[in-house]
Amino acid sequence: EAQVTQNPRYLITVTGKKLTVTCSQNMNHEYMSWYRQDPGLGLRQIYYSMNVEVTDKGDVPEGYKVSRKEKRNFPLILESPSPNQTSLYFCASSSTQRGSYEQYFGPGTRLTVT
Amino acid sequence: AQSVSQHNHHVILSEAASLELGCNYSYGGTVNLFWYVQYPGQHLQLLLKYFSGDPLVKGIKGFEAEFIKSKFSFNLRKPSVQWSDTAEYFCAVNARYGGSQGNLIFGKGTKLSVKP
């Protein structure tokens, strides 16, 4: 089944404790992206990747890191989480080839930083 | 820079009422247009999409959207809403450059509450 998976789905952590949220897709998509969703602010893009080893900042990259060493994986790293990073995070992927522009979303990771 | 505006933050309707959610974007070139829906507690799902061709696009669950290029708009419509349509709706746009696509930009979303 074509899907985007994220782990963990729920995470409660403390300020300053490094964490990684994994994202994996099995559709051989070139493009992957991370969003955070906050009430009243919609989805804001954190980072995106057009292909392996190609990443770029979105609208709200501060406090986050990403890497894209393999096509299927796009982990989101919070080196020193802070309470303002408490949010719902979504990973998404899509093909960049002609006629295949739809983004597929993961189930979300709800992060609480205390 | 591209941007997407959704005019209504929260829409409240009674069942069987008609729905129209506005979406405008700012980009002068060729675009792909999407509406996504997020039911309470769930992730985003594609409702419908427009790439080219007939500007009136039909999606799942009786939704449709019309692309009006001159107005840079892609409004979502449904003739008769149901309680189960209660969800948040997001318009999204990305620019197209030849055979590839640019980054996907989302609007802030519109919450739809349907009263039974």
User: Hey, what are B104's tokens?
Assistant: 């996907």
pLDDT at A99 over 80: no
**How many percent of chain A have pLDDT more than 90?**
81
pLDDT of residue B97: 66
Name the burial class of residue A40, with classes exposed (0-12), middle (13-18) and buried (19+) by CB atoms within 10 angstroms of its CB. exposed
pLDDT in tens, B76-99: 999 999 999 999 999 999 877 665
Torsion angles phi and psi, residue B22, rounded to 5: -85, 145
Give me the total of CB pairs closer than 8 Å, taking one residue from chain A and one from chain B: 57
B101 touches A at CB < 8 Å: yes
- Residue B100 CA: distances (Å) to CA of A30, A80, A99, A111: 11, 36, 9, 33
Q: Does B59 touch chain A (CB under 8 A)?
A: no
Q: Which of B6, B43, B45, B96 to mutate to test the interface with A (most CBs of A within 10 A)?
A: B43
Contact check, Cβ <8 Å, B44/A102: no
Mutation site, A5, A43, A55, A97, interface B, largest B CB count within 10 A: A43
Write out chain A residues lying below 8 Å of B49, CB-based.
Answer: 101-102
* pLDDT tens over chain B, length 116 residues: 678 999 889 999 999 999 999 999 998 788 889 999 999 988 899 999 998 899 999 999 999 999 999 999 999 999 999 999 999 999 999 877 665 667 788 899 999 999 98
The residue among B23 and A1 whose pLDDT is bigger is B23
Sort out which chain A residues have CB atoms less than 8 A from B90's CB and list them: 42-43
Q: Which residue of B has its CA nearest to A108?
A: B43
Instruction: Give the C-alpha separation, B29 to B48, whole Å.
Output: 21
Is B9 in Cβ contact with A40 (below 8 Å)? Answer: yes
Work out the minimum CA distance from A111 to partner chain B, whole angstroms.
14
Residue A49 has pLDDT above 90, yes or no: yes
- A81 in Cβ contact with A19 (< 8 Å): yes
